[in-house]
């Protein structure tokens, strides 16, 4: 298997096989992402895409499901089921790289890996799976053991699509390419870290799936813990994927949950697929600590949920207040803050105190902002577009290893499905339970907006 980490590489002579190709993920995310790579000439004409599933399609019917260019459409093929899939692929050519994406319910990952292996897909493939990687530490460990019977962990690419977002990748650049911040990134200067991930919609048509999961499994254990790891990890020895992964795992080894609270929006039990007596949380508030020298005693607050007053994912770094001297004798100057806007309006905001123009010395808070929409003319790749390209060139930097998934589950296992459920109105954020100097993230919501 050829591995090339040159990001200017043009993908040649590769076969991308999508299992579960008649599903929603393939239609909404995977095919549009691959189509865009093709349009950008990052995938050439010698590569093909094969959809596979239980539904009966011919090639034309399969292609008609997608809004794609005619040139790219000619690269799409369909094969029903797994039997004979490898021979079918070889009938289209001999390929240097074979990527198999399991766009399937997680319950089928282990059995599909076995079936693919028995079909003849062995050491010459890369296997891509979508989160969730289990529903607890025990189930994640069993899943990893089942996959590793047939494929080496270096062949398995576990996608967490948050890691494909440009604003998330920029966390490492911000921290390790700017000496301005490196000396203050510790508990001597930082008072708290606050992470929000809000959705304005409810569970929509995913009620049956979501009710088996809940927001802690769906968001906290994976997406938001990954953000936290990148924000707080030590500098890796190099940009090698294993060096970065090692430092992220060190964070997870020292991470502990101090307390948590669970909420459910009113009307959730009336959603399609949700039991009338459900106690699944749709909003959670968690406080964590990293028990190491850099972050000792710095509280980390995570708040995430559905059916809230706005949509947005952001990280806030709240610095310690000034002493009550000079301009701050009354203690009225707000501490400095750094806001990382992950979505939908990517950017970084630094909140500072400034003098108001005039004859008197009056101080107010203002901000400096870096917005992707204002700073770059180039297209920001969609997360799946970036991640699929990295799979094709064999770059594992933005993917999660088996030990990493299990460590993250160990952190959150003690609070899964635990604690009383409180209720909140749709469109209203629950009152914060923890006592803290909360960052008013709503104040920054329109900064960097694309509208």
Provide DSSP, 120-178.
T--TTEEEEEESP--SSHHHHHHHHHHHHTTS-GGGEEEE-GGGGSHHHHHHHHHHHS-
The pLDDT tens digits for 215-230 are: 999 999 999 999 999 9
57/100 same-domain check: yes
The pLDDT tens digits for 308-366 are: 999 999 999 999 988 888 887 887 888 999 999 999 989 999 998 888 888 888 888 88
247/311 same-domain check: yes
Q: What is the mean pLDDT of residues 422-447?
A: 90
Give how far Cα 336 sits from Cα of 321, 325, 399, Å. 8, 16, 33
96 assigned to some structural domain: yes
* CA dist., res. 210 & res. 438, Å (int): 29
* CA dist., res. 411 & res. 417, Å (int): 14
Q: Which residue has the tokens 């494909």?
A: 164
Q: Is 191 left (phi over 0), alpha (psi -120 to 50) or beta?
A: alpha
Q: What is the mean pLDDT of the chain?
A: 92
Q: Is 79 a catalytic residue?
A: no
**Closest to 404 (Cα-Cα) out of 251, 175, 291, 176:** 251
* CA dist., res. 422 & res. 273, Å (int): 21
Q: pLDDT-derived band of residue 8, with 50, 70 and 90 as boundaries?
A: low
> Counting Cβ atoms within 10 Å, is residue 56 exposed (0-12), middle (13-18) or buried (19+)?
exposed
Q: Is 41 left (phi over 0), alpha (psi -120 to 50) or beta?
A: left
Q: For the whole model, what pTM was predicted?
A: 0.91
92/196 same-domain check: no
Query: Residue 350 is part of which domain span?
Result: 163-380+402-444
27/98 same-domain check: yes
* CA dist., res. 314 & res. 449, Å (int): 13
387 assigned to some structural domain: no
**Closest to 262 (Cα-Cα) out of 223, 218, 299, 229:** 218
Last residue of a domain, one of 106, 130, 154: 130
The pLDDT tens digits for 275-302 are: 999 999 999 999 999 999 999 999 999 9
pLDDT at residue 124 is higher than 90: no
Last residue of a domain, one of 130, 149, 176: 130
CATH assignment of the domain containing 275: 3.30.360.10
Question: 397-419: string of b/e by CB count within 10 Å (b at 16+)?
Answer: bbbbbbebbbbbbbbbeebbeee
Q: Which residue has the tokens 């700017």?
A: 178
154 assigned to some structural domain: no
279 assigned to some structural domain: yes
100/191 same-domain check: no
The pLDDT tens digits for 15-31 are: 999 999 988 899 999 99
114/233 same-domain check: no
394 assigned to some structural domain: no
369 assigned to some structural domain: yes
* CA dist., res. 153 & res. 327, Å (int): 56
The catalytic residue among 79, 90, 161, 223 is 223
Q: How high is the pLDDT of residue 4? A: 42
261/359 same-domain check: yes
118/261 same-domain check: no
Tell me: cis bond preceding 40? Omega within 30 of 0 counts: no
* CA dist., res. 89 & res. 76, Å (int): 12
4 assigned to some structural domain: no
The pLDDT tens digits for 174-191 are: 999 999 888 899 999 999
Rounded to 5 degrees, what angle do the CA atoms 94, 100, 104 make?
A: 150
Q: Which residue has the tokens 């591995």?
A: 3
Domain count, the chain: 2
428/340 same-domain check: yes
Q: pLDDT-derived band of residue 3, with 50, 70 and 90 as boundaries?
A: very low
CATH assignment of the domain containing 56: 3.40.50.720
317 assigned to some structural domain: yes
349/415 same-domain check: yes
Element (H, E) at 232: helix 225-232
Last residue of a domain, one of 79, 114, 130: 130
297/353 same-domain check: yes
30/176 same-domain check: no
């Amino acid at each position: 298997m050829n591995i090339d980490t040159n990001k200017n590489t043009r993908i040649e002579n590769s076969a991308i096989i999508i299992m579960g190709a008649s599903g929603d993920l393939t239609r909404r995310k995977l095919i549009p992402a691959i189509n865009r790579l093709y349009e950008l000439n990052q995938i050439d004409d010698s590569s093909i895409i094969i959809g596979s599933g239980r539904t009966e399609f011919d090639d034309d019917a399969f292609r008609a499901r997608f809004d794609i260019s005619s040139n790219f459409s000619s690269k799409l093929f369909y094969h029903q089921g797994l039997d004979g899939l490898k021979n079918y692929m070889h009938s289209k050519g001999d390929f240097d790289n074979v990527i198999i994406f399991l766009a399937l319910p997680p319950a089928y990952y282990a059995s599909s890996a076995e079936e693919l292996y028995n079909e003849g897909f062995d050491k010459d493939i890369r296997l891509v799976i979508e989160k969730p990687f289990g529903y607890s530490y025990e189930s994640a460990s069993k899943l990893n053991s089942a996959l590793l019977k047939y494929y080496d962990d270096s062949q398995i690419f576990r996608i967490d699509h948050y890691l494909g977002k440009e604003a998330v990748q920029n966390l490492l650049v911000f921290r390790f390419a700017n000496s301005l911040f490196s000396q203050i990134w510790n508990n001597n200067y930082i008072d708290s870290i606050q992470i929000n991930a809000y959705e304005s919609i409810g569970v929509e048509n995913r009620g049956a799936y979501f009710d088996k999961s809940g927001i802690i499994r769906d968001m906290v254990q994976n997406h938001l813990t990954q953000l936290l790891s990148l924000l707080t990890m030590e500098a890796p020895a190099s940009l090698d994927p294993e060096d970065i992964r090692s430092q992220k795992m060190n964070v997870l080894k020292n991470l502990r949950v101090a307390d948590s609270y669970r909420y459910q929006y009113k009307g959730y039990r009336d959603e399609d697929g949700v039991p009338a007596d459900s106690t699944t949380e749709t909003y959670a508030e968690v406080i964590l600590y990293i028990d190491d020298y850099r972050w000792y005693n710095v509280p980390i607050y995570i708040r995430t949920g559905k059916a809230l007053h706005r949509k947005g994912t952001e990280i806030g770094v709240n610095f310690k207040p000034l002493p009550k001297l000079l301009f701050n004798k009354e203690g009225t100057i707000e501490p400095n803050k750094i806001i990382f806007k992950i979505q939908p309006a990517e950017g970084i905001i630094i909140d500072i105190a400034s003098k108001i123009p005039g004859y008197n010395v009056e101080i107010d808070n203002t901000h400096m902002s870096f917005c992707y929409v204002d700073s770059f003319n180039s297209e920001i790749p969609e997360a799946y577009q970036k991640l699929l390209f990295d799979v094709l060139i064999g770059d594992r930097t933005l993917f999660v290893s088996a030990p990493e998934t299990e460590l993250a589950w160990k952190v959150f296992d003690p609070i899964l499905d635990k604690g009383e459920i409180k209720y909140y109105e749709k469109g209203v954020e629950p009152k914060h339970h923890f006592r803290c100097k909360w960052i008013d993230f709503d104040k920054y919501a329109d900064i960097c907006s694309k509208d």
